[in-house]
Chains A and B, each alone.
Chain A
């Protein structure tokens, strides 16, 4: 006897469902940020407010905690999606889930990236409208443009990390996981080198490119695919309308 289709069959269409469930993913990231900021807030208030070195140290600590929590929540989301995948596979008509794990990984990474990028940059954007001169007090005049580049790198990085992370969890390659978390920590740490932008932005972009290539190969791409894609673009049939 065929099981009845689940309520909310909307997710049978992967594209729309994955895109439109962006708020859920964003919310996961937001909760991780909230927890991290709570921890930082509590630690700041419990410590000596006057000691600036300590405060700086706490800031670094807060950033590290935030990174770790983001990865934890990414893992939690992965677990959630696995369960959903199993459930969907069980109840779907042909015994396989309509959403592939790779798609989920990509969209989840992208959502994390979008929300974290927006959170990084929107206050800066709002301030950039108002009257003012960048860096008039001796700070770098390139603040806005470097923030923009940094945010872009961050969005890409989150997407790539999402893909690699999910794949690593799926295949239980824990060294991959460790590498992702480590690279996230390194990236976050590099931003503390601002305003020495050469030292922070360039390595971050190198990391981004490396992650991108890694994610591409993890997702099943290969050099041959790229060539095929570039040459046969015209003759490839349009799959989805």
Chain B
């Protein structure tokens, strides 16, 4: 899977971006502070236009005279928040997986293998076992590559229905079938008596709410929780059904493949992301964990302007398939307000028409009112594959370590380093780069 941040890859529909910039009316101070940090922290030239929406960049010069302490505090808030947004879900997923592995013995019991890994590892010689695991890994990786290419081809040729059907079937399987098995095993472990009727109700509710949250609209936290749960379930399945050497090999090869697929110009994942970027669409909701702040729900209720914007947001969720949203918007260009809402608004503040001109006028207004969030707090997105990958790593380590927690902890620390450095380069990472730089400079000067 791939990683990107909002600032560098604008995956949101264009309307939302322009509205976001008009919306994020903080004081001159904060906005320009964050813009400066945004410009310096992410790739600088990336999309200042989308943030400012045509507003001049001269307020950046004002930033230079800002208070040092305020400066520090903002970077502190900004940087820390991003890291926490990232490693809390990853940690949660790993905690769930490790807790399950340590308590429920079902997931460490060998009950056969997947059809993707036909070769057994119960062989006489070490060489045979190595060969079998290499073959298993090769088959698994080729299956993954084929599926990825299929997905990219389907996306390129706009076969959205097929993709959505595929995603819906897979999330149905995860949310109903796998969670049913999981729940059953947990009950067996803790010797809890449960009748089928209660179980059916629980699974039904869990599954249906999960489908709604992931594929349609739902509270952000609930959606995040569901994504973490299905990643954990998927990771547990892999831990159970992949034999040891195969699992480690697959993990190694997948990380290499991940790098190649994302960084290589012709890599399938890169093509996917670029196509999505070109079309200004969001990618599939069922495959991405987004830590976006809930600025939809937190909107101030009193401010009519914000209310109008909030309503516009809530009528199309950014997670919904973007093409559908764009179609809807084109057909009813009343700004996306529903009829009843318009009546409500008319009765409250008098008849106001939301036309493109009025919206443009609003957007051109200078920033002068307080808001709750700002562009930079849009957060990061992480593919679910990464969650599953890390969880399988930690889970396998804790499963094979026969009760030793040190191994699990060491893996956990290693993964945190990857997360923290990839998304939040701190002084240690910069040190390496700087060290290299100094080294090269000193060599050059000699």
Contact = CB atoms under 8 A, between A and B. Distances in A.
Interface string A55-96: 000000000000000000000000011011011100000000
Contact of B425 (A7, A25, A119, A240): A7
A211 to B, nearest CB: 26
B426 A20 contact: yes
Contacts of A11: 79, 426-427, 430
A23 interface: yes
Interface string B405-419: 110011001101100
Contact of B438 (A12, A87, A240): A87
A86 B427 CA distance: 11
A144 to B, nearest CB: 15
B406 A8 contact: no
A122 interface: yes
Interface stretch (B70-78, B171-179, B188-196, B271-279): B70-78
Given A12-B71, A84-B434, A4 B40 contact: yes
B65 to A, nearest CB: 12
A16 interface: yes
B431 interface: yes
Given A9-B75, A83-B438, A88 B427 contact: yes
A130 B434 CA distance: 49
Contacts of A118: 409
Interface string A149-181: 000000000000000000000000000000000
Nearest to B71: A12
A78 to B, nearest CB: 12
B424 A20 contact: yes
Contacts of A9: 37, 40-41, 75, 79
A119 to B, nearest CB: 6
Interface residues of B, number: 38
A17 B78 CA distance: 11
A26 B412 CA distance: 11
B434 A83 contact: yes
B403 interface: yes
A131 to B, nearest CB: 14
Interface in B413-446: 413-414, 416-417, 420-421, 424-431, 434-435, 437-438
Nearest to B428: A24
A6 B430 contact: yes
Contact of B76 (A4, A7, A15): A15
Interface string B50-83: 0000000000000000000001110110111011
B413 A26 contact: yes
B383 to A, nearest CB: 21
B426 A24 contact: yes
B413 A10 contact: no
Interface in B190-234: none
Contacts of A25: 428
19 contacts: A4-B40, A8-B41, A10-B80, A10-B83, A10-B426, A11-B79, A12-B75, A17-B79, A20-B80, A23-B413, A24-B421, A24-B426, A30-B410, A83-B435, A84-B427, A99-B427, A115-B413, A123-B406, A126-B403
Given A27-B414, A81-B427, 6 more contacts: A4-B44, A23-B413, A83-B431, A83-B435, A115-B413, A240-B73
